[in-house]
């Protein structure tokens, strides 16, 4: 009898209370989840957005067009600021600018496409030469000799008010295809 009563009391009292507790537990969990999600979305966006923007590269003024002689490539140095996530890096870079008779200008990355060494212009033979492994390029950047797997890399450039503007990019050396880093 008492055994039966005990079961009944336990069963009668625990089921509705347990159900209510379970229900409020779920409500609390869902509410906490929604609040957490509401806080997390803007936070994640704040954290991730600089990383997504890190490939944005600015136009950089590398000098007056008058500095570049016709048909005689000129190395132009410039300081560029690159936003890499939260970091702003300033670095000195160089480009090679080639002015054509029609006024067009080509701008080459200063890194040899073989393994990334700096190259120079040899005015006597009118060729770019890399000292590391002997790659040679003509004035248009085409490979004339050596192990370079592709022509010199062209950089985006434009002329504004007599100034030469360039977007400095880096490319993976040693590959036939152009792969931007
Ligand atoms: S890095 Fe220029 S030839 Fe090798």
Q: Are 40 and 47 in contact (CB under 8 A)?
A: no
Question: What is the per-residue pLDDT for 2?
Answer: 45
pLDDT tens column, 58-111: 898 999 999 899 989 999 988 766 677 777 777 788 999 999 988 889 999 999
Query: CATH classification of 56-167, choosing from 2.102.10.10, 3.20.20.30, 2.30.30.40, 3.40.47.10?
Result: 2.102.10.10
Atom of ligand 1 nearest to the CA of 148: 3
* Average pLDDT rounded to a whole number, residues 113-130: 97
Q: Read off the DSSP letter of residue 165.
A: E
Among 108, 132, 152, name the best residue to mutate to test ligand 1's pocket (greatest count of ligand atoms within 8 A of Cβ).
132
* Average pLDDT rounded to a whole number, residues 134-144: 97
Three-state helix/strand/coil letters over 147-163 = CCCCCCCECCEEEECCE
Question: Residue with the nearest Cα to atom 4 of ligand 1?
Answer: 133
Question: What is the per-residue pLDDT for 82?
Answer: 67
Backbone angles phi, psi at 172, to 5 degrees: -70, 125
Question: What is the per-residue pLDDT for 5?
Answer: 46
Helix (H) or strand (E) holding 51: helix 2-52
Question: What is the per-residue pLDDT for 54?
Answer: 52
Atom of ligand 1 nearest to the CA of 112: 2
Q: CB burial class (10 A; 0-12, 13-18, 19+) of residue 56?
A: exposed
Question: Residue with the nearest Cα to atom 3 of ligand 1?
Answer: 133
Q: CB burial class (10 A; 0-12, 13-18, 19+) of residue 151?
A: middle
Residues 18 and 11: their CA atoms lie apart, in Å, by 10
Q: List ligand 1's pocket residues with C-beta within 6 A.
A: 112, 114-115, 117, 130, 132-135, 146-148
pLDDT tens column, 10-65: 444 556 666 767 767 777 777 777 776 666 665 655 555 555 555 677 898 999 99
Residue 75: partners with Cβ closer than 8 Å, 6 or more residues away: 94, 95, 96, 97, 110, 120, 121
Residue 64: strand pairing partners: 163
């Amino acid at each position: 009898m008492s055994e039966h009563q005990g079961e009944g009391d336990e069963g009668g009292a625990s089921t509705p209370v347990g159900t209510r507790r379970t229900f409020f537990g779920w409500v609390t969990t869902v509410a906490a989840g929604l609040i957490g999600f509401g806080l997390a979305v803007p936070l994640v966006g704040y954290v991730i957005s600089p990383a997504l923007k890190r490939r944005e590269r600015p136009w950089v003024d590398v000098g007056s067009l008058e500095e570049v002689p016709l048909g005689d490539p000129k190395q132009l140095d410039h300081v560029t600021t690159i936003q890499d996530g939260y970091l702003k890096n300033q670095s000195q870079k160089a480009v090679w600018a080639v002015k054509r008779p029609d006024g067009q200008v080509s701008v080459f990355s200063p890194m040899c496409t073989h393994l990334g060494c700096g190259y120079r212009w040899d005015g006597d033979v009118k060729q770019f030469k890399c000292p590391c492994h002997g790659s040679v390029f003509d004035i248009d950047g085409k490979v004339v000799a050596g192990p370079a797997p592709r022509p010199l890399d062209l950089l985006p450039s434009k002329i504004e008010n007599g100034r030469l503007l360039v977007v400095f990019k880096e490319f993976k050396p040693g590959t036939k295809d152009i792969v931007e880093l």
